[in-house]
């Protein structure tokens, strides 16, 4: 009973018709997802625009679950079925391909050769040994491998034998890619950190201001420190410039690695990859000290970047000691030099304004019985950090798939058989035939050329037809 | 610099004219079965191809980078690779030259669209300064070239088949390769095109992972490239598993090529994509 059920299930999954249906369904689904906007992959504003421009269409799509296709249960079901189908189909094909690459070709008889699509017969006085030499010359030049069998009566020439494995290899490699993608979606972590020059942060959950963790990642952070030594706003490029950052990796109190990273040049450490993002801002250093000059509070404040009426502004609201709140905005001269920085400050305490003024770099003001000084300004930038154990598997799968596909396309198994038989004393009858695994008509052209060449060579050695 | 700019446009438009003229000549030779005219047309295409190459070289000199940015550069170089693939295929099998009747109209029409795009020089952004760009873009162009030639062979197959049905035994069509050979040759170009398409998608994914930290983000161009890959994969499965060959295969190729053209050139027109900035300038 159980065996029958298993056999039936396997038969169902080894169906090539099922493969076609699933590929068709998968393609159709991806086309739908490319037409109907998927909010996960586009900006909120863009989706909002879609919604307001096509309210009925989007409402209808949302109702049918077509706005979250890639996470829908039916899309995942199609993928799982496709995976199982590809796996079963190809497992079933392994013994078939193995058998086809076997030595059964050498037991062929004259009748079987005559039954092939491309055949030809010739009577010749040339000895079996010399026929072999001629075949070796003509087909050897075309990279065929020659084998003798049946006591030297059969000459068998073949090439592209391993091309038979190409398709199988390609499909199995695709399964490796899918497996890698599953690992990737289960164990990946992607996050974003912000660092001001000179600052370091540990690679732990709380350091990220944005983080996505896959269900099985389980907080496996590496806890090494990343320090931003220096930031270069225009590190690379001539006309279009992009930023770069000099980073130091500190692990167990040792400086392990120093590297300047920029676009296309990330830093790799302990399975994590650190990427430079294309944004930066300013972090002014504010110090509050008492009348005796003792520092009470000190911090670099990474000011947010806001676009207001098309103008980029560096401003933020922060909490200061003694329950004070400050609104800070940084201005710079057109040269963008850090030395030209000026801070506009509005400080309130319990809703009452206690300071409103401008501080230039190096300025110190007295307020609320303390001194407030603006002593330094540095740049901040952000980095993407990701850990994806599935990616190496995907990469291996991808290259194996390309290799398999190439083998399938470039190496097509082609075979020639030449069977010599004694027609009468001194005369040999050669029954020749050829077969290709695919592209039979194109092989037919090759077969005709080989026949012409062999004819010419045999005639050269003289013989009677 | 003025010479470079003017020379480039003179070569560009002359090649467009020659490609358009060759299309007319292909039509005349097919309708009136003029074998000699077909040979002359190949010479016209070759001349257009050489001038087209000069236009691309001058643009390269002018911009200081390969033809990667903006519709003008991309379409021009894509078409050039397709014409190169067609001419190379003729070296292998000269009797398929009438397939130009399907390649040349697409070529000159696309070049016409390319000419309407901005020709302003766009500098190469540091994000594009990677050897992956050359791999990724080259394979996109090779994909277009191979699949266009494969599809053109499908068109030629249908023309010859029609003549056979009409019992037209003129030597003009007789001298073309047999229907079976054309069918197989076309599918070989599609298989090679699918290998190139796979390499294009894969190299794009590897590069995206290196540049952005993610290999796949369902960006519209990524998605449409995957769709094109799946569609041609579906075609190959149909062909291998269900013997979907000859006329059915030829019609399928004609029906599906718009998906590839859209994936390679059309998506940036319609969607906001990470590629849009580079392609649609």
Flag whether residue A392 sits within 8 Å of chain B, measured between CB atoms: no
Cβ-Cβ contacts under 8 Å for A40 (sequence gap 6 or more): A68, A70, A71
* Least Cα separation, residue A59 to chain B (angstroms): 21
The torsion angles phi and psi of B246, rounded to 5 degrees, stand at 55, -125
* Least Cα separation, residue A56 to chain B (angstroms): 21
Q: What is the Cα–Cα distance from B149 to B187, expressed in whole angstroms?
A: 10
The complex scores an ipTM of 0.85
Tokens of B170: 């003129």
Residue of A nearest to B179 (CA): A441
Test B238 with A440 for CB contact under 8 angstroms.
no
Q: What is the Cα–Cα distance from A299 to A287, expressed in whole angstroms?
A: 7
Q: DSSP characters for A183-222?
A: HHHHH-EEEEEEEETT-EEESSGGG-SEEEE-TTTTT---
Count other Cβ atoms within 10 Å, centred on residue B258: 10
pLDDT tens sequence across A255-284: 999 999 998 899 999 989 999 998 899 999
**Contact residues, A window 65-84, toward B, CB-based 8 Å cutoff:** 70
Instruction: Judge whether B214 and A386 are in contact, CB under 8 Å.
Output: yes
Chosen for mutation from B213, B244, B249 (greatest number of chain A CBs closer than 10 Å) is B213
Nearest to A409 among B195, B213, B238 (CB): B195
- Which residues of chain A are within 8 Å of residue B193 when distances are taken between CB atoms? none
Instruction: Judge whether B89 and B102 are in contact, CB under 8 Å.
Output: no
Residue of B nearest to A237 (CA): B126
Mapping DSSP to helix (H, G, I), strand (E, B) and coil, where does residue A80 land?
A: helix
pLDDT tens sequence across B83-95: 999 999 988 888 8
Question: Three-state SS across chain B?
Answer: CHHHHHHHHHHHHHHHHHHHHHHHHHHHHHHHCCHHHHHHHHHHHHHHHHHHHHHHHHHHHHHCCCCCCHHHHHHHHHHHHHHHHHHHHHHHCHHHHHHHHHHHHHHHHHHHHHHHCCCCCCCCCHHHCCHHHHHHHHHHHHHHHHHHHHHHHHHHHHHHHHHHHCCCCCHHHHCCCCHHHHHHHHHHHHHHHHHHHHHHHHHHHHHHHHHHCCCCCCCHHHHHHHHHHHHHHHHHHHHHHHCCCHHHHHHHHHHHHHHHHHHHHHHHHHCCCCCHHHHCC
Nearest to A264 among B123, B127, B202 (CB): B127
Question: Torsion angle of alpha carbons A267, A272, A275, A279, nearest 10°?
Answer: -130
Q: What is the Cα–Cα distance from B170 to A400, expressed in whole angstroms?
A: 49
Q: Name the residue with tokens 């030099």.
A: A337
Residue of A nearest to B230 (CA): A27
Test B202 with A239 for CB contact under 8 angstroms.
no
| Strand ordering across the sheet containing A342-349 | A304-308, A311-320, A324-331, A342-349, A352-360
Test B213 with A440 for CB contact under 8 angstroms.
no
Fill in the DSSP letter of residue A112.
Answer: H
Tokens of A97: 């391909």
Tokens of B256: 């599906």
Per-residue pLDDT of chain A (465 residues; tens, 9 = 90+): 788 888 888 888 888 889 999 999 999 999 999 888 888 777 777 788 888 888 888 888 888 888 888 878 888 889 889 999 999 998 988 888 888 776 567 788 889 999 999 999 888 888 888 888 888 889 998 999 998 888 888 999 999 888 888 888 898 998 998 888 888 878 888 899 999 999 999 999 999 998 888 888 888 899 999 999 999 998 888 777 889 999 999 999 999 999 999 988 999 999 899 999 988 999 999 999 988 889 989 999 999 988 888 788 899 999 988 888 999 999 887 656 777 889 999 999 888 888 899 999 889 988 888 899 999 999 999 999 999 888 899 889 988 988 898 888 888 889 999 998 887 777 888 899 999 988 889 899 999 999 999 888 877 765 444
Q: State the distance between the two ends of chain B, measured CA to CA, in whole angstroms.
A: 21
Determine the pLDDT at residue A225.
Answer: 96
Q: What is the Cα–Cα distance from A138 to A207, expressed in whole angstroms?
A: 71
Test B178 with A441 for CB contact under 8 angstroms.
yes
- Which residues of chain B are within 8 Å of residue A240 when distances are taken between CB atoms? 123-126
Chosen for mutation from B68, B95, B123, B126 (greatest number of chain A CBs closer than 10 Å) is B126
Flag whether residue A32 sits within 8 Å of chain B, measured between CB atoms: no
């Amino acid at each position: 009973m159980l065996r029958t059920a298993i056999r039936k299930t396997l038969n169902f999954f080894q169906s090539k018709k099922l493969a076609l249906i699933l590929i068709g369904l998968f393609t159709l689904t991806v086309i739908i997802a490319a037409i109907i906007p998927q909010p996960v992959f586009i900006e909120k504003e863009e989706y909002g625009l879609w919604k307001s421009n096509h309210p009925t269409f989007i409402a209808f799509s949302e109702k049918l679950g077509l706005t979250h296709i890639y996470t829908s249960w039916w899309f995942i079901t199609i993928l799982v079925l496709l995976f199982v189908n590809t796996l079963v189909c190809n497992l079933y094909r392994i013994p078939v391909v193995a058998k086809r690459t076997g030595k059964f070709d050498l037991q062929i008889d004259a009748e079987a050769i005559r039954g092939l699509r491309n055949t030809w017969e010739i009577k010749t006085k040339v000895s079996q040994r010399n026929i072999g030499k001629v075949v070796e010359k003509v087909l050897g030049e075309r990279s065929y491998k020659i084998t003798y069998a049946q006591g030297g009566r059969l000459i068998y020439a073949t090439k592209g034998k391993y091309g038979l494995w190409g398709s199988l290899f390609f499909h199995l490699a695709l399964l490796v890619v899918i497996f890698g993608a599953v690992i990737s979606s289960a164990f990946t972590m992607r996050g974003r950190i912000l660092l001001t020059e000179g600052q370091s942060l540990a690679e732990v959950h709380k350091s990220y201001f944005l983080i996505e963790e896959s269900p099985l990642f389980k907080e496996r952070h590496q806890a090494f420190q990343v320090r931003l030594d220096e930031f270069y706003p225009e590190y690379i490029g001539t006309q279009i410039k992009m930023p770069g950052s000099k980073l130091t990796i500190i692990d167990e109190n040792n400086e392990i690695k120093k590297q300047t990273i920029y676009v296309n040049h990330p830093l790799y450490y302990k399975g994590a990859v650190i990427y430079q993002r294309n944004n930066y801002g300013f972090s002014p250093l504010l110090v509050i000290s008492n009348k005796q000059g003792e520092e009470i509070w000190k911090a670099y404040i990474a000011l947010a970047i806001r676009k207001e009426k098309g103008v980029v502004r560096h401003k933020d609201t922060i909490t200061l000691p003694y329950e004070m709140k400050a609104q800070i905005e940084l201005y710079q001269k057109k040269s963008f030099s850090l030395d030209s920085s000026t801070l506009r400050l509005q400080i309130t305490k319990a809703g009452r304004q206690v300071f409103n003024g401008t501080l230039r770099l190096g300025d110190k003001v007295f307020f609320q019985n303390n001194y407030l000084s603006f002593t330094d300004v540095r740049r901040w930038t952000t980095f993407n950090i990701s850990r994806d154990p599935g990616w190496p598997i995907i990469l291996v799968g991808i290259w194996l798939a390309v290799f398999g596909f190439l083998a399938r396309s470039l190496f097509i198994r082609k075979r020639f058989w030449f069977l010599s038989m004694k027609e009468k004393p001194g005369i040999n009858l050669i029954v020749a035939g050829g077969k290709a695994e695919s592209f039979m008509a194109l092989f037919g052209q090759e077969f005709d050329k080989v026949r012409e060449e062999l004819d010419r060579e045999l005639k050269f050695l003289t013989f009677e037809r | 610099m003025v010479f470079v700019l003017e020379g480039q446009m003179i070569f560009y438009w002359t090649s467009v004219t020659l490609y358009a003229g060759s299309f007319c000549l292909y039509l005349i030779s097919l309708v009136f079965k003029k074998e000699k005219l077909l040979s002359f047309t190949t010479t016209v295409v070759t001349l257009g191809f050489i001038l087209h190459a000069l236009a691309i070289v001058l643009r390269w000199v002018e911009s200081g980078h390969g033809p990667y940015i903006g519709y003008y550069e991309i379409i021009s170089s894509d078409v050039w690779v397709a014409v190169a693939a067609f001419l190379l295929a003729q070296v292998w099998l000269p009797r398929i030259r009438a397939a130009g009747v399907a390649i040349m109209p697409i070529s000159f029409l696309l070049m016409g669209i390319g000419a309407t795009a901005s020709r302003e020089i766009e500098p190469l952004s540091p994000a594009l300064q990677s050897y992956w760009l050359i791999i990724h873009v080259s394979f996109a162009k090779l994909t277009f070239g191979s699949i266009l030639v494969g599809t053109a062979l499908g068109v030629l197959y249908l023309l010859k088949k029609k003549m056979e049905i009409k019992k037209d035994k003129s030597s003009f069509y007789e001298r073309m390769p047999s229907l079976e050979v054309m069918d197989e040759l076309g599918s070989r170009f599609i298989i090679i095109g699918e290998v190139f398409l796979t390499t294009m998608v894969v190299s794009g994914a590897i590069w995206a992972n290196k540049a952005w930290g993610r290999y796949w983000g369902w960006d519209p161009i990524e998605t449409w490239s995957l769709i094109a890959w799946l569609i041609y994969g579906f075609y190959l499965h149909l062909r291998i598993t269900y013997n979907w060959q000859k006329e059915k295969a030829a019609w399928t190729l004609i029906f599906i090529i718009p998906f590839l053209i859209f994936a390679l050139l059309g998506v940036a027109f319609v969607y906001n994509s990470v590629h849009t900035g580079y392609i649609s300038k």
